[in-house]
Chain A
């Protein structure tokens, strides 16, 4: 996809996940919005996985460690054709498989997550399995920046470099907020780059809401031979909606009808800008 197409996709995903959260009156709004662009680029540009290849042993693996942001995952999986989008109308309802955290009952989900701090160790195991089989598929995980406080991450970080897992890429959605407050105030994890580098990882930083930059960076994986790769993706929690960006309460906040309409209108306006730019560039050509 062109960068413009990817940008339009991100807007579409934001609209869909907000609709999903608005309909079922629950969801992790801020952290889903912050990671839209990351999942967009992963699924549309990087991951070698599709509904047809999901049972293939050589598919790329994506395990979402920050499982609470399930809405963005489900919206993207629906767009990839893993299940009909209309399934998401049952989200969070009694007896629906589409629930508040990823579950393997939903096609396209590799691993049940939701308790934080489990994804990276699991990915280390999967990456070792790939090496054992001499396969070159890649393993990706998405971590929250609050989640990184969990000790199991650091045990896994040590193991990943010990086993030279250059087929593993961890992405930190560095939106600077968790539930109670900012990461700095709750439990400071800075400097993340130096910490991971000292654990033997190849670290890159990127604007995690810039699809073009994410794409270029992820296409260059692995960053260094024999080292696991870390992407520190600087994002905004609530990205794309003016009144949600960097505002704590949207971690688990559900928009009112008026807020929902405003959010959708803002996204429509953003879409119009991209389309206008596209037209303008065509005219200039």
Chain B
């Protein structure tokens, strides 16, 4: 695909992609059960609850109990999807996930909305920037952060087809929706090369993928050829795709709505260090809690925006030997 071909179809919330995806999935997979901790509205679960009420488990404000119940449902052959905000999906219930889900290899799908800075006004208590790190460190955990509505919908359905625990991370705000409507461009564990380039590789996940596309378009105007990779699956990481691209471009920028300690960037750095060391620049928050504000204000403050990705790309290129 070429950069010019990447166009915004519409703007939609990624969490709404979950709501649509789970509804469609439930029609074809009768083992799917959805649990929530008093956040059915935030996950757009209305249609699912209406049609599949018997497969909906309202847990109340009991995240730890919800994870435990989900683990138990798998013992009865169900495929439980748990739903709460990203902070309460991970940090709050880490031991439940670690012992009862990951260590026990349970087929639980932990679905987390309101991830990162972009949930906005609620501020730091609700803005987890450590969740990718927490989850990718757990043995056997698949970690996916799709880039838009269509892809979140596709991922919601696809994770039912793989056995084992999954962390599916998405967000609150409306965001450019540009991947294929039928989701056929999404394969778990397979990097999505959105645009090929030769000077620098931009590797991003979640909301930052669109920002990277924008950055690549800016760079193109200045004659810089950027390869854009949507690394929606952070674990298991498509190392082959990373090595191939870095071998070609010799410089990389990683972009994530997450702490640069322990996130996507560190995962890429590890692949680079072990296979093809190249200059790397990180876009992400740096060892800080979030704060209150409008999504765009916060992204700008923490440097998670297009101009900063452009600047980071130039810096990475300038550091090539």
Contact = CB atoms under 8 A, between A and B. Distances in A.
Interface of A: 24, 26, 67, 92-96, 99-101, 103, 112-117, 146-147, 149-151, 178-180, 183, 185-187
Given A114-B126, A187-B58, A95 B291 contact: yes
A99 B121 contact: yes
B38 A93 contact: no
A146 B293 contact: no
Interface residues on B, range: 20 to 34
Contact of B292 (A94, A115, A149, A186): A94
B293 A149 contact: no
Given A179-B41, A180-B38, A180-B39, A116 B61 contact: yes
B76 to A, nearest CB: 21
B87 interface: yes
Interface of B: 36, 38-41, 58-65, 87-88, 92, 121-126, 291-294, 297-298, 301
Given A99-B124, A115-B92, 4 more contacts: A94-B292, A99-B121, A100-B292, A113-B125
Nearest to B125: A114
B106 to A, nearest CB: 20
A94 B87 contact: no
Contacts of A95: 291, 293
B237 to A, nearest CB: 30
B39 A101 contact: no
A99 B292 CA distance: 6
Contacts of B40: 180
Q: Which of A24, A67, A115 has the most chain B CB atoms closer than 10 A to its own CB?
A: A115
Given A178-B38, A178-B61, A101 B293 contact: no
Contact of A100 (B58, B88, B121, B297): B121
Q: Which of A112, A146, A178, A187 has the most chain B CB atoms closer than 10 A to its own CB?
A: A187
Contacts of A94: 291-294, 297-298, 301
Given A149-B61, A151-B62, A187-B58, A115 B121 contact: no
